[in-house]
Amino acid sequence: MNRKLYVGNLPFETSENDLQDLFASAGTVDTVNLVRDRETGRARGFAFVEMASEEDAQRAIDQLHERPFGGRNLTVNEARPQAPRSGGFGGGGGGGRNQGPRRRSEPRW
């Protein structure tokens, strides 16, 4: 088992300290990473919590998954590795409004 946990369905008002305190009841917390919107800085409703040991991580899942927190039921499970992303600026291809291939426009004489 991984020591890193995904925590979802968080109230938007949740702080890192709130999560630190909540997960400390299950064991020693190494890090808390509350994911925030880049533009607004507002919490996005999920976080990653890394516990000190695999046993602490399992205990946190057992104790906190589906537990009410701030009017919502938490989702707590083992974090999965991030899926690889393609580099660059988006996926190009296609053309104008109807998304068909672009044709070379010839001058009209």
Convert the pLDDT of each residue in 31-46 to its tens digit: 999 999 999 888 899 9
Q: Are 102 and 96 in contact (CB under 8 A)?
A: yes
Q: Which CATH architecture has domain 4-78?
A: 2-Layer Sandwich (3.30)
- Kindly tell me if the per-residue pLDDT of 99 is higher than 70: no
Task: Give helix then strand counts, H and E, for the chain.
Answer: 2, 6
16-72 pLDDT, tens digit per residue, is 999 999 999 999 999 999 999 999 888 899 999 999 999 999 999 999 999 999 999
pLDDT band at 86 (very low <50, low <70, confident <90, very high): confident
User: What is the DSSP code string of 68-105?
Assistant: EETTEE-EEEEPPPPPP---SSS-----STT-PPP-PP
